[in-house]
């Protein structure tokens, strides 16, 4: 009578099962790591998109400041121009008094510095500028702001780390991370257009007459620089998101 020799079968089976479980565990780790990396990348794209939207807001704000006068410290313009006549000095002092009456923390809009933004500036051919394929290289713009640091903009908020529920170390780390996000914007005067105001308030002098305005096409980019990039670097971003919009401002 022959007996089956099964010595060592349990060891072989255990090794096979261990190998299968190891492969399954490794596969799960790779999948989880991939999902984590994908989520991080998705978050970075979303954050960069928000930075690009902020670029459009900054561009519109810059245009408005130029058209109605920039916020200026009154003390910096309090002195009358050198060589001004007595009449001009009196008019200037009256103007300063008017500014002081409406000033906020010593700041008021300097209406003497108003400007009608026109296409007089030659843009720098940055990665952002080149990303807009509909623009010709010889295009002139009203202004071109390059490599604006989003982290530096947010830093004053995060320095009050207690208010946002962070420790100082966490706030410093977050500021350094946000400094990798940069934005850039430029705008083009595309001509006159009908301005249609909107709002809930009505005045007795309100009419249905339409006013003439000026159209500006605004271009903005948000981009994420590689880790360790210098603050003055703006080439070869990891992520670049270009946006554009059209605004009509009252003349």
Segment 176-217, tens digit of pLDDT:
899 999 999 999 999 887 766 655 555 555 555 557 788 999
* SS3 label, residue 195: strand
For residue 70, give Cα distances in angstroms to 55, 97, 117, 142.
Answer: 18, 17, 13, 16
Helix (H) or strand (E) holding 143: strand 143-149
The Cα–Cα gap between 36 and 227 comes to 18
Count of other CB atoms within 10 angstroms of residue 125: 10
Residues in the chain: 251
The Cα–Cα gap between 221 and 206 comes to 38
The Cα–Cα gap between 185 and 53 comes to 10
The residue to which tokens 């009196």 are assigned: 90
What digits encode the pLDDT tens for the residues 145-185? Answer: 999 999 888 888 887 777 667 788 888 888 889 999 999 99
Instruction: Give the residue extent of every domain in the chain.
Output: 47-67+115-198+210-251, 70-113
The pLDDT of residue 207 is 58
The pLDDT of residue 174 is 86
- DSSP β-bridge partners for residue 215: 191, 248
Burial call 32-50: b when 16+ CB within 10 Å, e when fewer: eeeeeeeeeeeeeeebbee
Cite the beta strand spans of the chain per DSSP E. Answer: 71-73, 107-109, 143-149, 181-195, 211-224, 239-250
Torsion sign (Cα): 139, 144, 147, 151: negative
Q: Which two tokens stand for residue 110?
A: 């300097």
What digits encode the pLDDT tens for the residues 138-147? Answer: 889 999 999 9
227 close to 238: Cβ distance less than 8 angstroms: no
Out of 106-115, 141-150, 238-247, which region has the weakest mean confidence (pLDDT)?
Answer: 106-115
């Amino acid at each position: 009578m022959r007996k089956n020799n099964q010595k060592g079968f349990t060891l072989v089976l255990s090794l096979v099962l261990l190998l299968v479980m190891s492969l399954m565990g490794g596969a799960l780790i790779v999948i989880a790591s991939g999902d984590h990396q994908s989520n991080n990348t998705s978050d970075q794209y979303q954050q960069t998109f928000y930075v690009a939207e902020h670029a459009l807001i900054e561009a519109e704000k810059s245009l408005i400041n130029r058209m109605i006068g920039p916020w200026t410290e009154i003390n910096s313009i309090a002195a009358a121009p050198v060589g001004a006549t007595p009449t001009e000095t009196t008019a200037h002092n009256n103007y300063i008094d008017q500014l002081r009456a409406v000033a906020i923390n010593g700041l008021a809009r300097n209406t003497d510095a108003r400007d009608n933004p026109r296409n007089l500036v030659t843009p720098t051919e940055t990665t952002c500028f080149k990303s807009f394929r509909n623009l010709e290289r010889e295009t002139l713009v009203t202004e071109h702001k390059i490599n604006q640091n989003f982290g530096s903009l947010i830093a004053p908020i995060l320095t009050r780390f207690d208010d946002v529920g962070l420790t100082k170390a966490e706030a410093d780390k977050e500021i350094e991370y946000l400094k990798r996000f940069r934005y850039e914007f430029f705008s083009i005067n595309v001509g006159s257009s009908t301005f249609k105001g909107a709002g809930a308030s009505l005045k007795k002098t309100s009419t249905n007459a339409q006013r003439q305005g000026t159209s500006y096409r605004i271009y903005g980019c948000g981009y994420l620089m590689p880790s360790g990039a210098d603050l003055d670097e703006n080439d070869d971003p990891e992520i670049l998101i270009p946006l554009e919009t059209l605004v009509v401002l009252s003349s």
